[in-house]
Amino acid sequence: MKKVRVAIIGIGAIAESTHLHYLMENELTEVVGLVDMDVNRAEAVAKKNGISHWFQSVEGLLESMVIDAVFICTPNSTHIPIAKKAAEKGVHVFIEKPIGIQIEEVEEYIELARANKVKTMVGMTHRFRREASILKSYIDKGKLGDLYYVKAKLFRGRGTPIGWFTNKSLSGGGALMDIGVHVLDLAWWLMGCPEPRAISGKAIGALGNYQTKYTSSWASKNNQLNANHVFDVDDFSSGWIRFRNGAVLNIEVAWAMHGEQDEGISIELFGDQGGAKLNPLTIYGEENGIVTKNEPHFAKNDVFQDELNHFIDCLVEQKEPLIDAEQGLSVLKMLLALYESSEEEREVIL
């Protein structure tokens, strides 16, 4: 069987540790090229992994190689410009989260991808967590009834990433854009992707470039992009989203704050027939007039591996990815509306 020929654009922290590793392990895939604006890095990683082609730009890749798909793992502001170049050539696109940083650029991309029959998947890794898919199946079978309130949260104590993430022109936003996108997407998907009606929120740069000792943070592999250490984004955001079906979602995220560090995304869901929480997965209900609390047992999975394999399977089997560009856009619209609400000190009606 012909393998899916893929290239990775932006072979930085996440791509080297996960995308490259799992795509090379996938028997249906051949990693044929690496691209990085730091071409020395692209070359070094390519040689280390036996990949024969490397480039400094996506144009260089697309002009000289025939490929089926790209995995875009560059800073957020470059996702859509790169995706458009791939889609123009009919190349399928996996985009790391968030899909982009502006609504118009994403809408233009969606049109282009549709016209060129290009499949798109956004890297919303947490949907592939085993406990998330188990909970989703409970919800889809109606075990919780109608959901009316969801609380979703991820607080880091001192976990502000180092590099372009804090520079709004490159990232599009801070904690909300970086980790809030995961928290919101997971909660929204579990709720059945309801249509948002209004958003109110506050985004705050509270601790900023802290100098705390003995802490470790995620760091970009490109320390030139934000050489001046610009910090013009939020490190705490909280919002309240009303959906057209009557449900509401409360989201809270922090890269850094004075308080307990969360070990992962925590979500609590309240329905009229039952409730649930993630981390650990617990299902609450009532049976025979008795309150119940169940903790399903399951083996954990490797979420990145399952996510990347899913996209390859979609290409091989002509299936639609679990998170398409339209869903990526819907989540981006909610994130940007929360920032707008914060700036304008009012509820934003969608």
Where does this chain bind ligand NAD (CB under 6 A)? 9-15, 35-38, 41, 73-76, 78, 96-97, 123, 125, 163-164, 220-222
State the alpha helices, DSSP H only, in the chain.
13-14, 20-25, 39-48, 58-64, 79-88, 103-115, 130-140, 168-171, 175, 181-190, 303-317, 325-344
CA distances from 115 to 35, 165, 208, 311 (A): 26, 32, 43, 20
Toward ligand NAD, which CB reaches closer, 218 or 284?
218
Q: Which residue is nearest to ligand NAD (CB)?
A: 12
Cβ distance to ligand NAD smaller for residue 35 or 348: 35
Q: How far is the CB of 72 from ligand NAD (least distance, A)?
A: 8
Nearer to ligand NAD, 3 or 21 (CB): 21
Joined tokens for residue 216: 């470790």
Report the nearest approach of ligand NAD to the CB of residue 262 (Å). 15
Q: Which two tokens stand for residue 60?
A: 């260089």
Minimum CB–partner distance for residue 41 and ligand NAD (Å):
6
CB-based contacts of 111, cutoff 8 Å, min separation 6:
none
State in angstroms the smallest separation of the CB of 198 from ligand NAD.
27
Strand, coil or helix: what is 324?
coil
Distance CA 12, CA 73 (A): 7
Contact criterion met (CB below 8 Å) for 217 and 162 = yes
CB of 322 to ligand NAD, least distance (A): 14
- Residues 99, 100, 102, 107: is their CA dihedral positive or negative? negative
8 A C-beta contact, residue 15 and residue 8: yes
Return the number of the residue (68 or 178) whose C-beta is nearest ligand NAD.
178
Nearer to ligand NAD, 256 or 323 (CB): 323
**Whose Cβ is closer to ligand NAD: residue 70's or residue 315's?**
70
- Minimum distance from CB of 121 to ligand NAD (Å)? 12
Within 8 A by CB and 6+ apart from 244, the residues are 194, 195, 196, 197
Nearer to ligand NAD among residue 37 and residue 283 (C-beta):
37
Q: Which is nearer to ligand NAD, 12 or 321 (CB)?
A: 12
Phi/psi at 15 (5° precision): -65, -40
Smallest distance from ligand NAD to CB 185, Å? 10
CA distances from 261 to 156, 239, 255, 300 (A): 5, 19, 10, 22
Minimum separation from the CB atom of position 81 to ligand NAD (A): 8
DSSP secondary structure code for residue 143 in this structure: T
Q: For residues 132 and 296, what is the distance between their CA atoms, to the nearest angstrom?
A: 12
